[in-house]
């Protein structure tokens, strides 16, 4: 057979005889038709999904509790609601970080009737933007909450938008066995903390475990120092953008922190909090300022060896009674598919029955409802509850107390910059203040 | 006759009638029937709509949004126009911006000066048909198959300060990911490790396509291996060289996943793409500010794309 003379001829020879009779155009028309069918099929698929929410006996819950243990607790609480009310809860669990990062789109789209969230600025922000439902009448039926919790659930307009479920304090954790072995005493003042740190160094320990690779753990250190040095009200005003970051008060916080950095674990910016917690667990570090969740990095038989104290006093006129204790809880979507069921669920979630189920199943958190039966608490939980109960003021945490854009795009790089170079505090504070002005006025 | 098996298989198809090949002007007009015109219009319109809808409109929207302070919440009607304030903020009061630009340039330089030539060098070596060359090819290409996110995880195990392999072997205390003077090089090494394999494979494919008679002719003329490569093989491979260059530029502009996995593009690992993501995606929702950063990145990319298109088109005209 001869070589083809042109490209067209070559291509024409490639068509098998069985297809050669088929018209090219009818083939295209067929493909277009198939495409159209596929398209309508997909659209129909999307449409049928949204109709299921109108069921009178169901309510949906968007949950960020994606870790196995808390997820299990949520499921048990929802089972409790079903037996008490007969309404089924459809739980949509989303990975914790993903849930938080997508919250804007989630709330503006078709959110679940009830969703998990935190108390603090971000809760008030969504309430003010009209993205959350008013829960004042639910609060009328709730009992067992202290005024501090009610205040933490109230939006800028004086109405309640949040039902608290659980909380955990930030404190300085240590291993009892290590402290007994070396005869350490709990420090009550900054000077005592410094001399304890010096002693631990002599004993071959890293005094304070420290990690800030993820950017947020160092916020806990900033919060507690600011609360100890300048008090709660200044902290709140600073977070709200009302106070200047360039003020001497803020400068003193960073100067004090710089003085403490030598007794902190070095190279914190490459370490995750889990790694820092493990250095405490492996008895390489003496203490660690973190939330109660540090206990997750300890084995079950080591839980009793874990103890904590609240961060020592810096200024005797301020004292050491304020602390960070972030509150987790629930909010309602602005237009729930079934408002009656959503409110019924929220009322149950705020009741002592729901709290009792949590106490029985989750040792790493404290329940917000004071009328719950807390006899099932571990020693550590009991002590933590006492600590928060005796606190005069409770802050949420830097990234929950201020605008999220300010916290994540300004404060995280700024605190990391400080840890890198603790010497240029005034330059850093000027940079924070400039960015704060731009963000808070926009 | 053994050179064209494909055509032999089609013996049953009669050669096309000469009339269709030699059809005149009128014949071609008749070919464009109404259906044909509809089909052609659709074929042009659908991709055009896709490109406009998925590329140009979002790009234009980004440029527009960069002049606003939108926080991603509420109707579009409530957006306030702030002019060039975002650009002013980016350049003057946003500390991560300057390091990000520097790191992007460093990324480009490192891939261009070290990783790409090294990948080409490996390709030349492997082209020599060493023993076990398939094994080396596979080993070098393996990182390309892995996703960058997975690579980030693998290197995390190696670089971790307290629990990592590298510090355990060296007995050192280097904070590979945390020290801002070190981490960019650590990450560049990981990125280069992957890039080398990619370039190696591209270039090896090109080398296999070079006509061996060229080398033989050069050898007969008494040219050394080195000068054969630089004076004969390298110029012949011009198309591949351009592809390699473009791949290198694209890889360094879109560098993102690795630093994001390591520390979300902070503390010494700032990159423009990571800053855009930090500001736009997530809770921060500084859509306007992030769009300004994205627009700057778009302008930088356009500069490279223009340069590339200019070179290619000049090539075509010759």
Q: Same domain, yes or no, for B40 and B181?
A: no
Q: Same domain, yes or no, for B117 and B266?
A: yes
Contact A413 B96 (CB under 8 A): yes
Contact B283 A103 (CB under 8 A): yes
The answer, for B183 touching chain A at a CB cutoff of 8 Å, is yes
- Average confidence score pLDDT of chain A: 85
Kindly state the helix (H) or strand (E) to which residue A308 belongs, with its residue range: strand A306-309
Q: Same domain, yes or no, for B175 and B51?
A: no
Contact B89 A6 (CB under 8 A): no
Say which residue, B314 or A111, is predicted with more confidence. Answer: A111
Q: Same domain, yes or no, for B166 and B273?
A: yes
Q: Give A41 to chain B, closest Cα distance, Å.
A: 20
Q: Same domain, yes or no, for B180 and B45?
A: no
Strand partners, A132: A333
Contact A267 B178 (CB under 8 A): yes
Measuring CA to CA, how many Å separate A335 from each of A109, A112, A374, A375? Answer: 11, 9, 35, 39
Local confidence band at A376 (pLDDT 50, 70, 90 cut-offs): confident
Can you give the residue range of the structural domain that contains B260? Answer: 96-285
Task: Outline where chain B has alpha helix (H).
Answer: 5-9, 18-21, 25-31, 34-51, 57-65, 85-92, 97-110, 116-126, 133-145, 148-159, 165-170, 183-208, 212-220, 225-228, 234-236, 238-253, 257-263, 272-280, 287-317
CATH number of the domain within which B274 lies: 1.10.3720.10
Whole-number pLDDT of residue B9: 42
The residues, ordered by sequence, that sit 6+ positions from B150 with a Cβ below 8 Å of its Cβ are none
| Domain regions of chain A by residue span | 53-168+326-395, 170-324+403-441
Which residue in the set A3, A416, A431 is minimally distant from B93, CB to CB? A431
Whole-number pLDDT of residue A50: 38
**Digit-coded pLDDT (tens) for A279-330:** 999 999 999 999 998 888 888 888 889 999 999 999 999 988 899 999 999 9
Collect contacts of B100-107 with beta carbons under 8 A, ≥24 apart.
Answer: B100/B265, B100/B270, B100/B271, B100/B272, B100/B274, B100/B275, B101/B272, B103/B184, B103/B269, B103/B270, B103/B271, B104/B252, B104/B253, B104/B255, B104/B271, B104/B272, B104/B300, B106/B184, B106/B188, B107/B188, B107/B191, B107/B252, B107/B255, B107/B271
Whole-number pLDDT of residue B32: 77
Spatial separation of the C-alpha atoms in residues B156 and B258, rounded to whole Å: 10
Spatial separation of the C-alpha atoms in residues A144 and A350, rounded to whole Å: 9
**Digit-coded pLDDT (tens) for B15-37:** 554 444 444 454 555 667 888 88
Spatial separation of the C-alpha atoms in residues B39 and B47, rounded to whole Å: 13
**Digit-coded pLDDT (tens) for A155-169:** 989 999 999 999 999
Dihedral sign from CA coordinates of B45, B46, B52, B53:
positive
Residue A18 has pLDDT above 80, yes or no: no
Chain B positions in Cβ-Cβ contact with residue A408 (cut-off 8 Å): 278, 282-284
Contact B283 A122 (CB under 8 A): yes
Task: Identify whether B246 is part of a domain.
Answer: yes
Residue A26 has pLDDT above 70, yes or no: no
Whole-number pLDDT of residue A11: 52
Hey, is A374 helix, strand or coil? coil
Q: Same domain, yes or no, for B241 and B154?
A: yes
Write out the DSSP string of B99-121.
HHHHHHHHHHHHIIIIIHHHHHH
CATH 3.40.190.10 fits A170-324+403-441, yes or no: yes
Local confidence band at B305 (pLDDT 50, 70, 90 cut-offs): confident
Q: Same domain, yes or no, for B65 and B117?
A: no
Local confidence band at A55 (pLDDT 50, 70, 90 cut-offs): low
Closest alpha carbon within chain B to A404? B284
Contact A413 B283 (CB under 8 A): no
Residue A392 has pLDDT above 50, yes or no: yes
Task: Identify whether B279 is part of a domain.
Answer: yes
Contact A172, A397 (CB under 8 A): no
Contact A173, A288 (CB under 8 A): yes
CA angle, residues A310, A388, A147, in degrees to nearest 5: 145
Contact A108 B281 (CB under 8 A): no
Give the number of other Cβ atoms within 10 Å of residue A86's Cβ.
Answer: 9
Spatial separation of the C-alpha atoms in residues B286 and B68, rounded to whole Å: 10
Dihedral sign from CA coordinates of A178, A180, A181, A186:
positive
Local confidence band at A278 (pLDDT 50, 70, 90 cut-offs): very high
Whole-number pLDDT of residue A109: 85
> What average pLDDT score do residues A253-267 get?
94
Q: Are A53-168+326-395 and A170-324+403-441 the same fold in CATH?
A: yes
How many structural domains compose chain B? 2
Whole-number pLDDT of residue B20: 46
Whole-number pLDDT of residue A214: 84
> What average pLDDT score do residues B213-233 get?
89
Local confidence band at A205 (pLDDT 50, 70, 90 cut-offs): very high
Closest alpha carbon within chain A to B275? A409
Spatial separation of the C-alpha atoms in residues A230 and A225, rounded to whole Å: 8
A154 DSSP 8-state letter = B
Spatial separation of the C-alpha atoms in residues A76 and A354, rounded to whole Å: 9
Residue B280 has pLDDT above 90, yes or no: no
Closest CA to B196 of B128, B259, B120: B120
Q: What are phi and psi of A351, to 5 degrees?
A: -85, 165
> What average pLDDT score do residues A355-382 get?
87
Q: Give A36 to chain B, closest Cα distance, Å.
A: 14
> What average pLDDT score do residues A413-441 get?
92
| CB crowding A38-58: b at 16 or more within 10 Å, else e | eeeeeeeeeeeeeeebeeeeb
Task: Identify whether B64 is part of a domain.
Answer: yes
Contact A96, A128 (CB under 8 A): no
Task: Identify whether B313 is part of a domain.
Answer: no
Q: Same domain, yes or no, for B69 and B185?
A: no
Whole-number pLDDT of residue A34: 42
Chain B positions in Cβ-Cβ contact with residue A278 (cut-off 8 Å): 162
Specify the CATH superfamily of domain A53-168+326-395: Periplasmic binding protein-like II (3.40.190.10)
Q: Same domain, yes or no, for B50 and B134?
A: no
Kindly state the helix (H) or strand (E) to which residue A256 belongs, with its residue range: helix A248-260
- pTM, two decimals, is 0.78
Contact A413 B266 (CB under 8 A): yes
The answer, for A15 touching chain B at a CB cutoff of 8 Å, is yes
A–B CB contacts, 8 A cutoff, strictly below: 132
Closest alpha carbon within chain B to A11? B7
Contact B213, B220 (CB under 8 A): no
Whole-number pLDDT of residue B307: 81
Spatial separation of the C-alpha atoms in residues A409 and B78, rounded to whole Å: 24
Spatial separation of the C-alpha atoms in residues B116 and B61, rounded to whole Å: 35
Q: How many CA atoms lie within 13 A of A425 on its CB side?
A: 17
ipTM over 0.90: no
Q: Same domain, yes or no, for B178 and B281?
A: yes
Contact A153, A329 (CB under 8 A): yes
Q: Same domain, yes or no, for B166 and B78?
A: no
Write out the DSSP string of A1-25.
-PPPSSHHHHHHHHS-HHHHTS-HH
The answer, for B17 touching chain A at a CB cutoff of 8 Å, is no
Contact A73, A65 (CB under 8 A): yes
Contact A270 B160 (CB under 8 A): yes
> What average pLDDT score do residues B202-211 get?
90
Whole-number pLDDT of residue B8: 43
Task: Identify whether B250 is part of a domain.
Answer: yes
Q: Same domain, yes or no, for B114 and B254?
A: yes
| Residues of A (395-424) whose Cβ lies below 8 Å from B | 404-405, 408-409, 412-414, 416-417, 420
Task: Identify whether B309 is part of a domain.
Answer: no
Query: Which site among A215, A405, A429, A437 would you substitute to test the B interface, given the most B Cβ atoms closer than 10 Å to its Cβ?
Result: A405
> What average pLDDT score do residues A335-350 get?
91
């Amino acid at each position: 057979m001869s070589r083809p003379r042109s490209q067209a001829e070559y291509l024409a020879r490639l068509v098998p005889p069985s297809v050669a009779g088929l018209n090219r155009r009818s083939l295209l028309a067929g493909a277009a038709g198939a495409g159209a069918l596929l398209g309508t099929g997909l659209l129909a698929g999307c449409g049928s999904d949204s109709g299921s929410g109108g069921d009178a006996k169901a309510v949906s819950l968007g949950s960020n509790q994606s870790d196995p243990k808390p997820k299990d607790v949520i499921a048990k609480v929802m089972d409790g609601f079903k037996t008490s009310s007969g309404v089924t809860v459809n739980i949509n669990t989303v990975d914790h970080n993903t849930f938080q990062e997508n919250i804007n789109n989630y709330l503006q789209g078709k959110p679940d009737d009830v969703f998990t969230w935190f108390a603090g600025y971000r809760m008030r922000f969504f309430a003010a933007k009209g993205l959350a439902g008013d829960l004042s009448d639910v609060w009328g039926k709730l009992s067992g909450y202290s005024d501090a919790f009610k205040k933490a659930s109230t939006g800028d307009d004086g109405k309640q938008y949040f039902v608290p479920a659980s909380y955990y304090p930030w404190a300085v954790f240590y291993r009892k066995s290590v402290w007994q072995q070396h005869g350490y005493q709990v420090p009550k003042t900054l000077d005592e903390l410094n001399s304890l740190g010096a002693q631990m160094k002599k004993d071959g320990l890293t005094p304070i475990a420290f990690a800030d690779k993820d950017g947020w753990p160092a916020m806990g250190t900033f919060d507690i120092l600011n609360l100890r040095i300048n008090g709660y009200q200044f902290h709140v005003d600073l977070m709200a953008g009302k106070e200047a970051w360039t003020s001497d008060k803020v400068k003193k916080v960073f100067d004090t922190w710089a003085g403490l950095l030598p007794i902190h674990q070095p190279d914190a910016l490459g370490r995750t909090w889990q790694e820092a917690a493990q250095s405490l667990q492996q008895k390489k570090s003496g203490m660690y300022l973190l939330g109660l969740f540090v206990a997750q990095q300890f084995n079950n038989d080591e839980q009793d060896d874990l103890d904590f104290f609240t961060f020592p006093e810096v200024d005797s006129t301020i004292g050491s009674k304020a602390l960070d204790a972030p509150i987790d809880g629930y909010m309602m979507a602005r237009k729930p598919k079934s408002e009656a069921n959503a409110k019924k669920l929220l009322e149950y979630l705020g009741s002592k029955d729901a709290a009792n189920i949590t106490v029985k199943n989750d040792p790493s958190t404290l329940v917000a409802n004071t009328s719950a039966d807390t006899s099932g608490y571990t020693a550590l939980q009991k002590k933590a509850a006492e600590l928060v109960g005796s606190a005069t003021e409770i802050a949420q945490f830097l990234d929950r107390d201020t605008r999220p854009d300010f916290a994540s795009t300004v404060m995280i790089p700024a605190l990391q910059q400080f840890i890198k170079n603790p010497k240029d505090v005034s330059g850093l504070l000027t940079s924070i203040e400039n960015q704060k002005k731009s963000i808070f006025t926009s | 006759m053994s050179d064209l098996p494909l055509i032999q298989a089609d013996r049953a198809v009669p050669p096309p009638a000469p009339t269709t090949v030699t059809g005149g002007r009128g014949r071609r007009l008749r070919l464009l029937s109404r259906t044909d015109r509809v089909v052609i219009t659709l074929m042009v319109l659908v991709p055009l709509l896709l490109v406009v809808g998925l590329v140009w409109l979002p790009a234009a929207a980004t440029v527009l949004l960069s002049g606003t302070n939108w926080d991603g919440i509420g109707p579009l009607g409530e957006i306030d126009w702030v002019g060039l304030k975002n650009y002013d903020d980016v350049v003057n009061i946003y500390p991560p911006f300057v390091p990000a630009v520097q790191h992007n340039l460093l990324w480009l330089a490192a891939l261009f000066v070290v990783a790409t030539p090294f990948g080409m060098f490996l390709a030349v070596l492997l082209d020599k048909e060493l023993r076990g060359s398939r094994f080396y090819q596979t080993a070098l290409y393996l990182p390309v198959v892995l996703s960058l996110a997975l690579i980030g995880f693998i290197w995390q195990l190696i670089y971790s300060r307290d629990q990592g392999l590298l510090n355990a072997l060296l007995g050192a205390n280097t904070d590979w990911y945390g020290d801002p003077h070190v981490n960019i090089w650590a990450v560049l090494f990981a990125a280069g490790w992957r890039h080398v394999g990619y370039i190696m494979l591209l270039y090896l494919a090109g080398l296999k396509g070079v006509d061996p008679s060229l080398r033989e002719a050069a050898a007969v003329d008494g040219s050394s291996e080195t000068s054969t490569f630089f004076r004969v093989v390298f110029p012949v491979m011009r198309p591949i060289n351009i592809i390699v260059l473009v791949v290198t530029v694209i890889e360094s502009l879109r560098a993102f996943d690795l630093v994001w996995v390591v520390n979300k593009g902070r503390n010494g690992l700032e990159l423009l793409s990571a800053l855009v993501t930090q500001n736009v995606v997530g809770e921060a929702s500084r859509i306007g500010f992030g769009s300004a950063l994205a627009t700057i990145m778009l302008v930088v990319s356009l500069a490279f794309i223009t340069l590339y298109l200019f070179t290619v088109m000049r090539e075509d005209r010759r």
